[in-house]
């Protein structure tokens, strides 16, 4: 490639391309600006500069949410390949005898709080030159993060990821009903749905009250939960339950670790276990550090399954 051709692609050009990639992925200038830490006016300016440089319209701003033009769709797929190649270049060039680098994982709150910390402590002992950031986010942001070029891996419930995602098993956990310690739920035997569906219920988010499989089971039986509060994630939910504001349905693997003054009722006879996975898009470049972490977590998962 001639020197003049190389000089055409300055640092500004890659910055514009990064902004465009996030706008295309999130279908919003404001969310893209938030994701990459710039002002919305800066992102808008960069998209305008990129369109002027290429001589084509990339984004249909008249649509709600915004849409990509045919040229924009083509550039989006090509830019994805460019960013993957850049990550590959970094991994190949920086690949030393000792694995080093940084890894960014976007995760559910429960995994970030209780699953990853002890494992990553062991991982760092084996790979001291690798730093791992685990960012807990709400479910909607978890799904969006799956497509982010600066996110290496996403950890969550297997049902939320798109079909065809490259996935790695992390753990399975049964569900349980969590109630205030002073409340007696049921008649002393295994709980029935009618024992708790009418009780005040603490959910996660308005658009994701609880596990989809649980919601579907309740709907099939003709039950509707008595939602009195949305608390975001499991720790605030447990606080509300401990304060006798209601009950909730949570993963059994985290409830017993919190030390909260609550009563736990198994629900494995009513609802299927939940499976958590690590995922990334197919054909995404994985640095040596990311590959090492995946292999390490696979070892742990195999040990747990055999145990």
Q: Which two tokens stand for residue 130?
A: 């690798």
**Whole-number pLDDT of residue 111:** 93
Contact in structure between 18 and 36 (CB atoms under 8 Å):
yes
0.75 exceeded by the pTM?
no
DSSP code at position 158: G
Query: What is the pLDDT, as a whole number, of residue 4?
Result: 46
Beta bridge partner(s), residue 130: 101
In the block, tokens 């049964």 appear at: 174
| β-bridge partners, 4 | none
Q: Tell the CATH topology of 3-92.
A: Arc Repressor Mutant, subunit A (1.10.10)
Give the pLDDT of the chain (307 residues) as one tens digit per residue. 444 444 456 668 888 888 898 888 788 898 888 878 889 999 999 999 999 999 999 999 888 888 899 999 899 888 877 877 776 666 566 554 578 889 999 999 989 988 999 999 999 998 899 999 999 998 878 888 888 888 999 999 998 898 888 999 999 999 999 999 999 998 888 999 999 999 999 998 887 777 778 888 888 999 988 999 998 888 899 999 999 999 999 998 888 777 788 999 999 999 999 999 999 987 777 888 898 899 999 888 876 665 5
Of residues 20, 5, 141, 3, the one with CA closest to residue 74: 20
Question: Token pair for residue 219?
Answer: 């709907």
Residue whose token pair is 């504001």: 245
Residue 124's closest CA among 93, 102, 91, 156?
102
Q: Say if 3-92 and 97-170+275-306 have the same CATH topology.
A: no
Spatial separation of the C-alpha atoms in residues 294 and 282, rounded to whole Å: 15
Token pair in block for residue 255: 């409830």
Q: For the chain, give every domain's residue range.
A: 3-92, 97-170+275-306, 175-272
Task: Specify the pLDDT at position 194.
Answer: 93
CA distance 241 to 263: 9
Whether CATH 3.40.190.10 fits 97-170+275-306:
yes
Q: What is the rounded CA–CA span in Å between residue 70 and residue 67?
A: 10
- DSSP bridge partners of 166: 280
Q: Which residues pair with 117 in a beta bridge?
A: none
State the pLDDT at residue 242. 94
Domain 175-272 of CATH type 3.30.300.20: no
291, 168 contact by CB (below 8 A): no
CA 277/CA 164 separation, integer angstroms: 13
CA distance 222 to 225: 10
Rounded to 10°, the helix 11-26/29-36 angle is 120
In tens, the pLDDT along 276-292 reads 999 998 777 788 889 88
Residue 33 CA, distance from chain mean position: 19
Separation between Cα atoms, residue 65 and residue 28, nearest integer Å: 7
Distance CA 224, CA 70 (A): 44
Beta bridge partners of 101: 130
């Amino acid at each position: 490639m001639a020197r003049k051709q190389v000089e055409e692609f300055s640092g500004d050009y890659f910055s514009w391309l990064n902004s465009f990639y996030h706008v295309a992925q999130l279908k919003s200038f404001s969310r893209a600006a938030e994701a990459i830490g710039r002002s919305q006016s800066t992102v808008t300016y960069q998209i305008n500069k990129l369109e002027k440089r290429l001589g084509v319209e990339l984004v249909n701003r008249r649509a709600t949410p915004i849409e990509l033009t045919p040229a924009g769709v083509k550039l989006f797929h090509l830019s994805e390949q460019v960013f993957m190649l850049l990550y590959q270049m970094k991994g190949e060039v920086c690949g030393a005898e000792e694995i080093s680098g940084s890894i960014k994982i976007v995760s559910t709150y429960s995994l970030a709080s209780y699953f990853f910390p002890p494992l990553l402590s062991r991982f760092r002992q084996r790979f001291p030159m690798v730093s791992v950031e685990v960012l807990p986010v709400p479910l909607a942001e978890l799904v969006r993060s799956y497509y982010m070029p600066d996110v290496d891996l996403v950890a969550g419930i297997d049902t939320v990821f798109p079909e065809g995602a490259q996935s790695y098993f992390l753990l399975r956990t049964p569900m349980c009903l969590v109630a205030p310690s002073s409340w007696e739920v049921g008649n002393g035997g295994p709980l029935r749905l009618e024992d708790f569906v009418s009780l005040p219920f603490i959910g996660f988010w308005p658009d994701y009250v609880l596990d989809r499989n649980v919601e579907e089971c309740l709907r099939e039986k003709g039950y509707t939960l008595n939602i009195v509060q949305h608390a975001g994630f499991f720790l605030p939910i447990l606080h509300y339950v401990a304060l006798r504001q209601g009950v909730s349905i949570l993963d059994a693997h985290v409830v017993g670790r919190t030390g909260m003054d609550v009563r736990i009722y198994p629900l494995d006879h009513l609802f299927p276990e939940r499976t958590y996975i690590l995922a990334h898009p197919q054909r995404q470049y994985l640095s040596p550090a990311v590959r090492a972490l995946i292999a390490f977590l696979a070892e742990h998962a195999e040990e747990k399954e055999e145990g």
